[in-house]
Structure 1
Amino acid sequence: MSRAKGDAAEAQAVRFLMERGCRILERNAYSRFGEIDIIAEKGGALRFVEVKSGTGFDPIYNITPTKLGRIVKTAHAWLKKSGSDLPWQIDAVIVRDDGIEWLENITF
């Protein structure tokens, strides 16, 4: 997938989350461990959101245990840097041709 398509999917995900009451804190947060696509807050909890999209296959399968491990490490780095003590979770937003799905509090 091209970077432009990935950026478009992330923009769709941001709009989708905002329409559902999320406040977007940051996009494309980097650490030495990896990247988190979207960091949002809703209901007093932080949400570290991975966005996946694609056609011809189910993009959910691109969220692997290795990827989740990197997200967790990056979330810890972000929390330390930000000084936040809010509860947090990892979410995924899956952008498909036929719609968007929000998977909340995913684990491995």
Structure 2
Amino acid sequence: MSRQKGDFAEKRAVSFLEDLNYEIIEQNFYAKKLGEIDIIAKKDNIYHFCEVKSAPDYETAINNITPSKLGKIKRSVDYYIQSKKINPAFCIDAIIVTDESIQLLENITL
């Protein structure tokens, strides 16, 4: 996927979260040599570390969240928490953006 399409999907995901009363804390947090967290949001004192995946259909998008990718996200979350010196309740979520819909999958694991 092109960077332009990815940026558009992330903008749609941010608007979607804001409509659900999430507070956007940060976008595109880069953890040195680990990876990037697309969106960090907060709702009801819980941090949500969101991975945005976009594709023409749901199945293609969800299959792009691999065990390797999830491991990088987890390590990036640990780095974020340590670097900010916080100890929040949190979960890792996926936001699936297709041409026709947006879905939030909370607390994903593989």
Normalised-by-shorter TM-score class: over 0.9
Specify the SS of the correspondent of 1:38: strand
Provide, for residues 35-78 of structure 1, a one-character-per-residue CA deviation record: whole Å limited to 9, x for no partner.
11000111111110000001255201000010000000000000
Aligned to 1:34: 35
Matched-pair identity in %: 46
What are the residue-to-residue correspondences of 1:1-108 with 2, within 5 Å? 1-31=1-31, 32-55=33-56, 58-108=60-110
Instruction: Give structure 1 stretches of 5+ with no counterpart.
Output: none
TM-score by length of 2: 0.94
C-alpha root-mean-square deviation of aligned residues, in Å? 1.0
Counterpart Cα distance in 1 of 2:7 and 2:104: 17
How many pairs align? 108
Deviation >3 Å, runs of 4+: none
Instruction: Give structure 2 stretches of 5+ with no counterpart.
Output: none
